[in-house]
Amino acid sequence: QVQLVESGGGLVRSGGSLRLSCVASGPIMSIDDMAWFRQAPGKQRELVAQVMGSSKAVYGDSVKGRFTVSRDNAKHAIDLQMNNLKSEDTAVYSCRARGVRRNEFETFTAEFWGQGTQVIVSS
């Protein structure tokens, strides 16, 4: 089965930086769509950044200009560089994969999620 594992979360002071990584493993030939989401306590999950194929990245409004997403298609990975962090960035960050191609004939219909990694920004 396909698994996603995130890493890189932690505690950082306001204005600091963190880099998150997510790697997908399992029977994967390619992944169409990878994205980072986050969910803060008491709030709905929101999109942080998304990259579909070789298309330009899409960012949530609250992180534009501060976060940069990058994909390594060969490694089935997506990274999120977070700069100038603010207290409101505190959340559990999770990566998602959709359009996971098992081979040239089969594509998983399900979307896959990682367990999440906690980011805490202290003011």
Mean model confidence pLDDT for the chain: 96
pLDDT tens digits for range 72-102:
999 999 999 999 999 999 999 999 999 999 9
Contact 97, 112 (CB under 8 A): yes
Query: Could you report the per-residue pLDDT of 14-56, keeping only the tens digit for each?
Result: 999 999 999 999 999 999 999 999 999 999 999 999 999 878 8
The identity of residue 3, as a single letter, is Q
DSSP 88: G
Cα–Cα distances in angstroms (integers) from residue 22 to residues 14, 19, 42, 43, in the given order: 23, 10, 24, 23
To the nearest 10°, report the CA torsion of 21, 27, 33, 34.
-10
